[in-house]
């Protein structure tokens, strides 16, 4: 039941909506005939969409199922055709309108094309944008100056660091040289020590030799004494035995006494030499003791030197560590430098971009100025046209007033005619004449009315032109909106760049902090350097003391050498004397033999 009712309703309503569609189609075509379709840019689209109503009019005939064989294909084909046309026209008009829009947008940028909107765009959009850009430029310049100052500071700090590094290197070199000198001195001291040991051993051996010689000389001296005694005994015996030869012998006795005195004196000399030897032995002992003391002192110094050496090695390790740290810092610093250079390049590129933008802005300014001039010209033209329109309006008002006055005069004339008809039948001819004149006036009025209608049409045409201009104005407004969007995008880009610059400034601040930390490290290194200098001064003092000791040892060594020479000289003299003594003895023996003979 419900279905049947709904079917009936649908069939009735099909007719209703077909009527509605028909009304709409007719209404649209009526409007088209009136010339209101010009308001639309998409008029063909509207006509095709209205024609879609025909499909539903055909659809309404579903009430007759016998017509379905014709209706359904007709409906679908009609629908297809209309929709195809709709799509074709919409695409075509879309393309045309987009091209027109493009041309309008290009016309805004073109200097040769007059466009009153350009002035407003310049005033309201481009000028504030230029001001904003100038502000940004100033801020960028400030940032640039800041960056330059920071760069200078960083360069100075890098120079200082480099000088410090060079100083540290030089100090390291000097420290190494000192170390080498110390090692050389140590070696020389060791060599001297060895030489002193060798000399000691030589002295010992010489002493032993002297002892041996002493031992060898003593029995000789004893034997000489014994021989003397024997000789004296022999002489006594011989004096006893040879009394006669006493006179001769007394001389010889004197000689022998002389010889004895000589021998005694020699004995005394030998004793003295013995004493000297003993004193030399004592001196040698004292020297030995002093040498042992020196050895102990040298050992102590060696220990100290070893300790200092260990300290120095530790300091050297620290220095190497510091060097590695410094090299790492230098690498990081070089990396930072490289980054800074990259940032500088970026800033330079940004500055170039800003300069390009400036140039673009200047070009735009020049364009704007030219467009301003054109706009002023067009304004003047518009104002003159407006003045003309106002004049025409005033004329029209005057004519309307004249018409009103003429109407009033007509009414007055008719009343006069009626009065004259009533009062003066005689003056019919005059009235007829007046009527003719009135008809003529009427004709003039009709002509004036036609003229007024023409003026109205002209004013309508002007209004249409004004409406078209309004439409153009709206188009320019849309273009302005698009430009605003573009400018907002540019704004966003610039903000992003600002954020990036802020990030870079933060990075630079972090780098500064790192540099401060490096400076602190360098200060610590300076403290270590001072410690090293103190150690080196201590070492120098030790060196000076060792040099003094060395000098004293050398002097003592020279003295020993001199003593040795003197000893050898004495030994030579003694040997010479011994030889002389033996020679004299032999002579004495020969004399004795001769005397015996």
Partner 1 sequence: MINEILFGVDTVSFVLIITAIFLMIKSKKFEKKESIKEVLNLILIGLFFITIVIAFDLSSSLNIFESIATKLEIIPFDLFYLGIELMIIPIAALSFLVGLMHLRESNQ
Q: Which one of 2-10, 127-135, 254-262, 286-294 is the stretch in contact with partner 1 (CB under 8 A)? A: 2-10
Q: How far is the CB of 32 from partner 1 (least distance, A)?
A: 11
Q: Do 65 and 16 touch, CB atoms closer than 8 A?
A: no
As measured in angstroms, the least distance from the Cβ of 483 to partner 1 is: 15
Near partner 1 by CB under 8 A: residue from 63, 64, 76, 443: 76
DSSP structural state of residue 426: T
Reference 260, options 218, 222, 223, 224; nearest CA is 224
Q: What's phi and psi for 424, nearest 5 deg?
A: -125, 90
- Closer to partner 1 by CB, 54 or 574: give it: 54
Question: How many alpha carbons lie under 13 Å from residue 162 in its C-beta half-sphere?
Answer: 8
Find the shortest distance in angstroms from Cβ 333 to partner 1: 58
Please tell me whether residue 2 binds partner 1 under the rule CB under 8 A: yes
Least separation in angstroms between residue 49's CB and partner 1 is 5
Residue of the chain from 41, 307, 395, 503 that contacts partner 1 (CB under 8 A): 41
80/568 with CB nearer partner 1:
80
Question: Applying CB under 8 A, does 116 fall inside the site for partner 1?
Answer: no
The full length of the chain comes to 597
| Interaction of residue 16 with partner 1, rule CB under 8 A | yes
CA-only gyration radius of the chain, Å: 71
Single out the residue of 359, 436, 478, 582 in contact with partner 1 (rule: CB under 8 A): 478
Contact between residue 147 and residue 411 where contact means Cβ atoms under 8 Å apart: no
The nearer residue to partner 1, 82 or 305, going by C-beta atoms, is 82
Per CB under 8 A, 51 contacts partner 1: no
Whole-Å CA distances, 45 to 22, 92, 99? 17, 10, 18
Please identify, using beta-carbon distances, which residue of 3 and 597 lies nearer to partner 1: 3
Q: Which stretch binds partner 1 (CB under 8 A): 18-26, 287-295, 333-341, 382-390?
A: 18-26
Q: Are residues 27 and 21 in contact, defined by beta-carbon separation less than 8 angstroms?
A: no
**Does the footprint of partner 1 cover residue 72 (CB under 8 A)?**
yes
**Which stretch in 24-32, 117-125, 147-155, 276-284 sits in contact with partner 1 by CB under 8 A?**
24-32
Q: Which of 44-52, 183-191, 450-458, 572-580 is the region at the interface with partner 1 (rule: CB under 8 A)?
A: 44-52
Residue 53 contacts residue 25 (beta carbons within 8 Å)? yes
Work out which of 63, 77, 245, 324 binds partner 1, going by CB under 8 A: 77
Q: Is 3 in the site for partner 1 (CB under 8 A)?
A: yes
CB 72 → partner 1: shortest distance, Å?
Answer: 6
Angle, helices 246-423 vs 428-596, to 10°: value is 180
Which pair of tokens denotes residue 253? 């006795």
SS (H, E, C) 504-518: HHHHHHHHHHHHHHH
- Pick the closer one to partner 1 by CB: 14 or 413: 14
Asked if 67 touches partner 1 (CB under 8 A), the answer is no
Taking CB under 8 A as the criterion, the residue among 44, 54, 71, 101 binding partner 1 is 101
80 binds partner 1 per the rule CB under 8 A: yes
Sole binder of partner 1 in the list 17, 297, 557, 567 (CB under 8 A)? 17
Write the CA distances from 348 to 147, 179, 503, integer angstroms: 11, 51, 17
CB 308 within 8 A of CB 539: yes
- The gap from C-alpha 432 to its chain's centroid, in whole angstroms, comes to 110
CB nearer to partner 1: pick between 46 and 416: 46
Compute φ and ψ for 56, nearest 5 degrees: -75, -25
Give the DSSP H or E segment for 153. Answer: helix 127-241
Place of tokens 């021998």: 263
Q: Which residues, other chains included, contact 478 with Cβ-Cβ below 8 Å and sequence gap of 6+?
A: 101
Give the shortest CB-510-to-partner 1 separation in angstroms.
50
Q: Determine which helix (DSSP H) or strand (DSSP E) holds 350, and give its type and residue range.
A: helix 246-423
Q: Does 418 bind partner 1 (CB under 8 A)?
A: no
Please classify residue 115 by burial: count the beta carbons closer than 10 Å to its beta carbon, then call 0-12 exposed, 13-18 middle and 19+ buried: buried
* CB-CB contact of 562 with 201 (8 Å): no
Q: Which stretch binds partner 1 (CB under 8 A): 23-31, 207-215, 399-407, 567-575?
A: 23-31
Distance, CA of 228 to CA of 217 (rounded, Å): 16
Let me know: does 111 contact 370? Beta carbons within 8 Å: yes
- Binder among 15, 70, 91, 160 for partner 1 (CB under 8 A): 91
Please say which residue, 461 or 590, places its beta carbon nearer to partner 1. Answer: 461
Among 475, 480, 487, 574, binds partner 1 (CB under 8 A): 475
- Alpha-carbon distance values, 400 to 352, 407, 411 (Å): 68, 10, 16
Rounded CA separation 155/337 (Å): 9
Coil, strand, or helix at residue 410? helix
Query: Residue 501 CB, nearest distance to partner 1 (Å)?
Result: 37
Question: Stretches 91-99, 124-132, 146-154, 565-573: which one binds partner 1 (CB under 8 A)?
Answer: 91-99
User: Which residues here bind partner 1, judged by CB under 8 A?
Assistant: 2-3, 6-7, 9-10, 13-14, 16-17, 20-21, 23-24, 27-28, 31, 36, 39-42, 45-46, 49-50, 52-53, 56, 59, 72-73, 76-77, 79-80, 83-84, 86-87, 90-91, 93-94, 97-98, 100-101, 470-471, 473-475, 477-478
């Amino acid at each position: 039941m419900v279905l049947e009712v709904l079917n009936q309703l649908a069939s009735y309503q099909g007719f209703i909506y077909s009527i509605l569609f028909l009304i709409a189609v007719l209404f649209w075509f009526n409007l088209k005939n009136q010339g209101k379709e010009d308001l639309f840019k998409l008029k063909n689209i509207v006509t095709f969409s209205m024609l879609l109503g025909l499909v539903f009019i055909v659809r309404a005939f579903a009430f007759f199922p016998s017509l379905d064989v014709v209706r359904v294909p007709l409906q679908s084909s009609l629908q297809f055709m209309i929709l195809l046309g709709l799509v074709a026209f919409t695409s075509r008009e879309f393309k045309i309108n987009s091209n027109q829009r493009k041309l309008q947008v290009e016309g805004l940028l073109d200097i040769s094309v007059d466009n009153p909107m350009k002035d407003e765009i310049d005033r309201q959009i481009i000028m504030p944008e230029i001001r904003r850009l100038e502000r940004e430029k100033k801020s960028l310049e400030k940032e640039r100056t800041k960056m330059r100052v920071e760069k200078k500071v960083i360069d100075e700090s890098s120079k200082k660091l480099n000088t410090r590094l060079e100083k540290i290197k030089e100090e390291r070199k000097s420290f190494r040289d000192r170390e080498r000198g110390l090692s050389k001195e140590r070696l020389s001291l060791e060599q001297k020590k060895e030489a002193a040991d060798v000399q000691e051993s030589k002295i010992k051996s010489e002493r032993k030799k002297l002892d041996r010689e002493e031992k060898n000389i003593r029995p000789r001296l004893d034997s000489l004494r014994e021989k003397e005694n024997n000789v004296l005994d022999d002489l006594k015996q011989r004096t006893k035995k040879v009394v006669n030869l006493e006179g001769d012998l007394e001389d010889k006795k004197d000689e022998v006494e002389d010889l004895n005195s000589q021998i005694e004196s020699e004995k005394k000399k030998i004793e003295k030499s013995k004493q000297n030897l003993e004193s030399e032995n004592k001196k040698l002992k004292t020297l030995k003791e002093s040498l042992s003391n020196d050895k102990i002192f040298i050992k102590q110094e060696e220990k100290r030197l070893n300790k200092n050496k260990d300290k120095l090695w530790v300091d050297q390790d620290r220095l190497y560590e510091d060097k590695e740290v410094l090299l790492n810092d230098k690498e990081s610093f070089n990396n930072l430098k490289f980054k800074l250079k990259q940032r500088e390049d970026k800033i330079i590129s940004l500055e170039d971009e800003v300069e390009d933008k400036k140039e673009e802005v200047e070009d735009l300014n020049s364009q704007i100025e030219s467009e301003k001039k054109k706009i002023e010209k067009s304004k003047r033209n518009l104002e003159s046209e407006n003045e003309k329109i106002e004049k025409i309006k005033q004329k029209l008002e005057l004519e309307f007033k004249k018409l009103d006055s003429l109407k009033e005069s007509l009414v007055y004339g008719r009343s006069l005619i009626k009065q004259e008809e009533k009062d003066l039948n005689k003056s019919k001819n005059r009235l007829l004449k007046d009527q003719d004149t009135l008809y003529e006036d009427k004709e003039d009025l009709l002509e004036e009315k036609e003229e007024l209608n023409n003026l109205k049409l002209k004013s309508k045409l002007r209004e249409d032109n004004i409406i078209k201009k309004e439409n153009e104005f709206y188009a320019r407004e849309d273009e302005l909106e698009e430009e605003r969007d573009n400018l907002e995008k540019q704004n966003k880009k610039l903000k992003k760049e600002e954020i990036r610059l802020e990030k870079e400034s933060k990075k630079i601040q972090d780098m500064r902090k790192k540099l401060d930390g490096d400076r602190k490290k360098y200060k610590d290194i300076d403290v270590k350097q001072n410690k090293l200098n103190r150690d080196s001064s201590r070492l120098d003092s030790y060196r000076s003391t060792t040099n003094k000791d060395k000098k004293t040892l050398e002097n003592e060594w020279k003295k020993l050498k001199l003593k040795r020479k003197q000893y050898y000289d004495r030994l030579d003299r003694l040997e010479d004397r011994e030889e002389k003594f033996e020679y004299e003895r032999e002579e004495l023996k020969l004399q004795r033999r001769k005397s015996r003979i």
